[in-house]
């Protein structure tokens, strides 16, 4: 090619001439301006320079190929089978093969060599570490074996020394016995000689039966001989035991040598296998380094080979023939993974008959837990509950009765169990409590309200209790002791109002004798009959105190007659119930009443153990702002001491102080003693049992368990939404609800007030006690009342400052009472005020339709004759046909002739226009009425 100018070349390659001149000078081509000419060789020199600058090999150098592709083609012929008409057919088959080899770069080669060197170094280090670990383990095993050998030799030496000592002791005992026998024989010889000499010198015959010296010596000889034989037998037994132990040690040594040989052989075999594995790994690594392809496929195959080696070393559950998968074809067949041998049997076999299980049902159980115990799905249990009319979810808690019915319906055997393992820990055996001794009787005074119970008890207390005692507590706790000539008597006072039925029932359960106070001028009343029933249910003796005998209208015979109608027969009539006439005002008959109580107690032979842990019953509980929870307890057995850990219902605590009815501090209280207990964690319920716990941890566990169980029972009852309840709600319609929050001074009063309010519920208004408790009205009570729109009721308590502020802010209704009659009256009035207005239809007039006229202004006008009452304008009417109401509406117009009038009286004709009704016929009756507002009644 001819020469060309620099300017033309710059235009061809698309750069400026100055830049091209600069590059040519850098490449060693001498040019000065754009008009200079350059040859083809100078252009090639520039190209080589630029390629070298950009990292490329020059085009004129002979470069070695980096990739070689080999192609191979072979042709063969296949001869097909000949048909019947023509000869065989030949088909040419051409097979083409292509394989590409890629040469690595110098950097890749260096990296591959470095990788192989790192692998080799890692393998050598691993081998060295393995050898060092093996040597360390061998040293440890050797040291351990030497230590065991030394210990065994020391033990054997000790055992041998002990055996040798035993043999030496036996030999020494035998020698000692032989020496004793020799000495005894010599003594016998001397005694015989002395005896013969004495017979020669003495002729007197002694008739006594004493042993001679020879006989004594002979006996000693026999004893020495027996000891020698026993020592000989002991020595022989010791030698035999020594031989047996020696033989056992020899057998153990032989077995130890055999085990050592087996262990050494196993170690040699393990070393051989390890060396063989190392050789295989080294060969595989060498092959992998030599034939490793550039694309990484060989690496992946090598990885499979490595995994295959691992699988080949596995020994557990591997089978070589049976149960293997079908052998793979192709190159990957050699790397097939070994197959783990498994069993082809199923793990579940269909039962041939229904499985009936014994299902333990606790007091509360969730649906899922019940299904798990019956081995069925929870959906089946829910379906069974729906069949029983109960809608439930999988997490709902069921009570024990419902769960028992479900288990039985599903074909299993239910078994009711009680979760009382912790409760049994408090049970006290008879051996622990000691011997029972005589105790004071517990007497409960019962009767109708205003029959003089409190007055009678006041008289007994004022005359029989030590002068100067503090009397503020007795009336409050209602329990105290009285000292009589026949001993002590414990009295319990119970209210007489109908609302305190539960308190009277609890009093009857803990009592021995019931004194029923009946007013001679009033006779038997409802609470009197109720007290008789409670006494009979509790199995207590009954004594009738006919009170108010000082009144002129007193009639004790009437009381006897009325009580006789209720199966209470006086002793005068041949019965077994004493009737004692008394007067709380004058004191007449009080001494006779106390003597009768003491006599009945002696007949009952009341006894209780005084030693051991105490048991008692809560009479009353209250919350004092300064002292905390105060519980009145009647100790029934054992001795309650200051500092005891007690469990009372769902509460527990340490007894910080004990007080009697006179507010005197006590260190302990025995049976039949009412005391006030301080130190409990909360206010228990009246009637709860007090028990002494071994420690505070156990008491806390029991109290927590009782709280949890009570909460689960409440939830189970609340969650049981039965279909019949839903139907009842649908039938009852919109029922008003009065919410109340009750706070009282003592637990018994709170319980009585709550029950009385619940009993006030009717079909129209329901009373719902949102919460009840003991103590003053606090902030929590006020917030709860505000949230539930409830009335706050304080029975002998008041609200604190915080509660009063919240009551004022929210405008809550708070009522304070000290008499239960007033409380019931106020709540009844509030319930009445919640009722809707009640209207009553009163018929004021009746008219007979004689004729019907048409009016262009009012439509049909009924010409009527008023037969009863008065027809008034703008009143509602009813149209009757054959005494059947066919329309009810309004009276639109009332006319007398052509004049509008306000009313038409009986016996007068008039025209009546019925609003929006055009079907009035002659002979119909029009009834006019008015709605009168009535006072709603519960």
pLDDT in tens, 671-708: 989 999 999 988 898 888 899 988 898 889 889 888 88
Give SS3 for 767.
strand
Looking at residue 644, its pLDDT comes to 92
Looking at residue 427, its pLDDT comes to 64
Kindly state the average pLDDT of the residues 817-836.
85
Q: Which of 352-361, 413-422, 759-768, 909-918 has the lowest mean pLDDT?
A: 413-422
8 A C-beta contact, residue 441 and residue 601: yes
Q: In 3D, which of 120, 107, 108, 117 has the Cα closest to residue 294?
A: 108
Measured between alpha carbons, how far is 550 from 594 in angstroms, rounded to an integer? 19
23 Cβ neighbours under 8 A, 6+ residues apart: 46, 49, 50
Q: Is the pLDDT of residue 321 over 60?
A: no
Q: Is the pLDDT of residue 310 over 90?
A: no
Looking at residue 256, its pLDDT comes to 76
95-to-52, 101, 453 alpha-carbon distances in Å: 44, 20, 127
8 A C-beta contact, residue 588 and residue 596: no
Q: Is the pLDDT of residue 235 over 80?
A: no
Q: Compute the mean pLDDT over every residue in the chain, rounded to the nearest whole number.
A: 78
Q: Is the pLDDT of residue 280 over 70?
A: yes
8 A C-beta contact, residue 364 and residue 712: yes
For residue 223 the two structure tokens come to 């004893």
8 A C-beta contact, residue 6 and residue 38: yes
8 A C-beta contact, residue 925 and residue 860: no
What is the 3 state secondary structure string of 234-298?
A: HHHHHHHHHHHHHHHHHHHHHHHHHHHHHHHHHHHHHHHHHHHHHHHHHHHHHHHHHCCCCCCHH
Give SS3 for 624.
strand
8 A C-beta contact, residue 466 and residue 534: no
The DSSP string of 684-697 is PPTTPEEEE-SSHH
Looking at residue 471, its pLDDT comes to 37
Looking at residue 286, its pLDDT comes to 57
Residue 547 has a CB neighbour count (10 Å cut-off) of 28
345-354, 642-651, 747-756, 818-827: which is most confident? 642-651
Q: Is the pLDDT of residue 317 over 50?
A: no
Q: Is the pLDDT of residue 38 over 80?
A: yes
369-398: pLDDT as tens digits:
999 999 999 999 999 999 888 888 898 888
Looking at residue 318, its pLDDT comes to 39
Looking at residue 878, its pLDDT comes to 92
Task: State the pTM of this model.
Answer: 0.48
Q: Which of 16-25, 352-361, 496-505, 889-898 has the lowest mean pLDDT?
A: 496-505
Q: Is the pLDDT of residue 744 over 60?
A: yes
Higher-pLDDT residue of 798, 66: 798
The angle that helices 747-759 and 501-509 make with each other, rounded to 10 degrees, is: 130
8 A C-beta contact, residue 920 and residue 859: no
Measured between alpha carbons, how far is 382 from 369 in angstroms, rounded to an integer? 12
Rg of the chain in Å (alpha carbons): 58
Looking at residue 419, its pLDDT comes to 67
8 A C-beta contact, residue 443 and residue 490: yes
Residue 365 CB-density burial (10 A; 0-12 exposed, 13-18 middle, 19+ buried): buried
359 Cβ neighbours under 8 A, 6+ residues apart: 370, 373, 374, 407, 412, 413, 414, 415
Measured between alpha carbons, how far is 515 from 545 in angstroms, rounded to an integer? 7
For residue 447 the two structure tokens come to 């009767």
Looking at residue 910, its pLDDT comes to 92
Q: What share of the chain is helix, strand, coil (3-state, %, to 5)?
A: 45, 25, 30
Measured between alpha carbons, how far is 339 from 343 in angstroms, rounded to an integer? 12
Looking at residue 425, its pLDDT comes to 61
Q: Is the pLDDT of residue 347 over 70?
A: no
Q: Which of 75-79, 207-211, 933-937 has the lowest mean pLDDT?
A: 207-211
- What end-to-end distance do the CA atoms of the chain give, in Å? 129
Kindly state the average pLDDT of the residues 913-935.
87
> DSSP secondary-structure letter at 499?
G
Q: Is the pLDDT of residue 463 over 70?
A: no
How far is residue 809 CA from its own chain's centroid? Answer: 41
CA atoms within 13 A on the CB side of 760: 29
Looking at residue 641, its pLDDT comes to 92
Q: Is the pLDDT of residue 302 over 50?
A: no
Give SS3 for 885.
strand
Measured between alpha carbons, how far is 341 from 113 in angstroms, rounded to an integer? 43
2-16, 730-744, 858-872: which is most confident? 858-872
Measured between alpha carbons, how far is 382 from 386 in angstroms, rounded to an integer? 6
The DSSP string of 467-488 is TT---TTHHHH-EEEEEETTEE
What is the 3 state secondary structure string of 39-85?
A: CHHHHHHHHHHHHHHCCCCCCCCCCCCCEEEEEEEEEEEEECCCCCC
Q: In 3D, which of 598, 580, 638, 667 has the Cα closest to residue 442?
A: 598
> DSSP secondary-structure letter at 512?
S
Q: Which of 292-296, 698-702, 891-895 has the lowest mean pLDDT?
A: 292-296
Give SS3 for 119.
helix
pLDDT above 70 as % of the chain: 79
Q: Which of 236-250, 538-552, 573-587 has the lowest mean pLDDT?
A: 236-250
Kindly state the average pLDDT of the residues 238-260.
77
Looking at residue 81, its pLDDT comes to 62
Kindly state the average pLDDT of the residues 707-732.
65
Looking at residue 306, its pLDDT comes to 40
8 A C-beta contact, residue 449 and residue 563: no
For residue 812 the two structure tokens come to 């809550």
């Amino acid at each position: 090619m001819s020469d060309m100018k620099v300017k033309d070349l710059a235009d061809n390659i698309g750069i400026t001439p100055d830049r091209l001149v600069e590059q040519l000078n850098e490449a060693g081509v001498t040019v000065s301006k754009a008009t200079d000419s350059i040859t083809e060789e100078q252009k090639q020199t520039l190209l080589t320079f630029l390629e070298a600058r950009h990292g490329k090999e020059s085009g004129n150098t002979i470069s070695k190929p980096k990739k070689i592709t080999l192609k191979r083609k072979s042709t063969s012929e296949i001869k097909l089978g000949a048909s019947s008409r023509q000869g065989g057919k030949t088909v040419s088959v051409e097979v083409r093969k292509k394989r590409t080899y890629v040469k690595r770069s110098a950097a890749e080669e260096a990296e591959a060599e470095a990788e192989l060197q790192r692998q080799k170094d890692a393998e050598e280090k691993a081998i060295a570490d393995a050898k060092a670990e093996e040597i360390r383990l061998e040293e440890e095993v050797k040291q351990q074996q030497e230590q065991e050998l030394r210990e065994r030799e020391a033990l054997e030496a000790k055992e041998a020394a002990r055996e040798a000592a035993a043999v030496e002791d036996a030999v020494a005992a035998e020698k000692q016995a032989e020496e004793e026998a020799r000495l005894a024989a010599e003594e016998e010889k001397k005694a015989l000689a002395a005896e013969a000499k004495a017979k020669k010198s003495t002729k007197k015959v002694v008739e006594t039966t004493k042993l001679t010296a020879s006989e004594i010596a002979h006996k000693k000889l026999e004893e020495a001989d027996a000891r020698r034989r026993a020592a000989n037998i002991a020595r022989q037994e010791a030698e035999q035991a020594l031989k047996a132990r020696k033989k056992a040690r020899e057998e153990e040594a032989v077995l130890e040598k055999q085990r050592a040989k087996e262990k050494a052989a196993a170690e040699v075999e393990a070393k051989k296998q390890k060396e063989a594995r190392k050789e295989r790994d080294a060969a595989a690594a060498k092959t992998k380094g030599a034939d490793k392809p550039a694309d990484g496929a060989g690496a992946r195959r090598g990885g499979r080979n490595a995994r295959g080696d691992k699988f080949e070393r596995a020994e557990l559950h591997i089978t070589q023939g049976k149960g293997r998968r079908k052998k793979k074809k192709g190159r990957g067949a050699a790397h097939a993974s070994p197959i783990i041998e498994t069993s082809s049997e199923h793990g579940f076999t269909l039962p041939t008959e229904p499985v009936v299980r014994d299902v333990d049902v606790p007091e509360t159980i969730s649906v899922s837990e019940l299904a798990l115990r019956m081995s069925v799905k929870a959906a089946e249990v829910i379906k069974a509950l729906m069949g029983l009319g109960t809608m439930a979810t999988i997490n709902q808690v069921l009570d024990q009765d419902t769960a028992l019915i479900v288990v039985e319906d599903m074909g299993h055997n239910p078994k009711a169990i009680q979760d009382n393992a912790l409760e049994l820990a408090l049970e006290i055996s008879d051996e622990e409590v000691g011997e029972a001794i005589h105790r004071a009787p517990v007497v409960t005074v019962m009767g109708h309200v205003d029959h003089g119970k409190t007055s009678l008890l006041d008289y007994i207390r004022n005359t029989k209790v030590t002068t100067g005692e503090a009397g503020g507590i007795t009336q409050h706790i209602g329990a105290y002791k009285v000292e009589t000539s026949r001993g002590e008597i414990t009295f319990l006072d119970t209210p007489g109002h109908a609302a305190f039925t539960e308190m009277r029932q609890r009093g009857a359960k803990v009592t021995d004798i019931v004194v029923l106070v009946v007013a001679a001028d009033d006779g038997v009343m409802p609470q009197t009959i109720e007290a008789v029933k409670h006494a009979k249910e509790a199995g207590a003796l009954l004594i009738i105190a006919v009170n108010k005998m000082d009144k002129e209208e007193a009639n004790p015979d009437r009381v006897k007659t009325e009580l006789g109608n209720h199966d209470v027969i006086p002793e005068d009539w041949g019965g077994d119930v004493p009737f004692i006439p008394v007067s709380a005002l004058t004191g007449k008959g009080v001494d006779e009443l106390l003597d009768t109580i003491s006599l009945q107690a002696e007949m009952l032979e009341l006894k209780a153990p005084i030693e051991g842990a105490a048991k008692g019953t809560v009479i009353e509980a209250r919350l004092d702002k300064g002292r905390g929870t105060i519980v009145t307890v009647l100790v029934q057995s054992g001795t309650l001491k200051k500092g005891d850990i007690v469990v009372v219902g769902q509460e527990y605590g340490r007894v910080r102080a004990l007080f009697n009815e006179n507010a005197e501090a006590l260190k302990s209280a025995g049976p039949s003693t009412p005391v006030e207990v301080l130190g409990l964690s909360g206010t228990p319920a009246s009637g709860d049992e007090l028990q002494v716990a071994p420690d505070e941890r156990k008491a806390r566990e029991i109290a927590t368990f009782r709280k949890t169980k009570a909460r689960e029972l409440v939830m189970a009852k609340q969650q049981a939404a039965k279909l019949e309840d839903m139907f009842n709600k649908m039938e009852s319609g919109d029922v008003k609800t009065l919410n109340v929050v009750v706070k009282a001074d003592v637990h018994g009063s709170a319980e009585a007030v709550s029950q009385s309010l619940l009993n006030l519920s009717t079909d129209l208004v329901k009373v719902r006690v949102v919460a009840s408790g003991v103590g003053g009205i606090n902030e929590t009570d006020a917030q709860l009342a505000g949230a539930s729109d409830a009335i706050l009721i304080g029975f002998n308590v008041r609200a604190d400052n915080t509660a009063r502020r919240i009551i004022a802010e929210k405008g809550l209704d708070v009522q304070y009472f000290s008499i239960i009659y007033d409380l019931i009256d106020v709540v009844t009035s509030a319930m009445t005020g919640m009722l809707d207005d009640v209207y009553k239809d009163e018929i004021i007039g009746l008219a007979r339709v004689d004729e019907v006229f048409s009016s262009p202004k009012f439509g049909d006008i009924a010409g009527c004759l008023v037969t009863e009452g008065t027809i008034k304008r703008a009143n509602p009417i009813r149209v009757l046909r054959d005494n059947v109401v066919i329309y009810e509406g309004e009276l639109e117009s009332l006319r007398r002739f052509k004049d509008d009038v306000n009313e038409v009286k009986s016996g007068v004709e008039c025209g009546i226009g019925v609003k929006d009704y055009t079907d009035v016929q002659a002979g119909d009756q029009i009834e006019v009425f008015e709605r009168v507002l009535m006072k709603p009644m519960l």
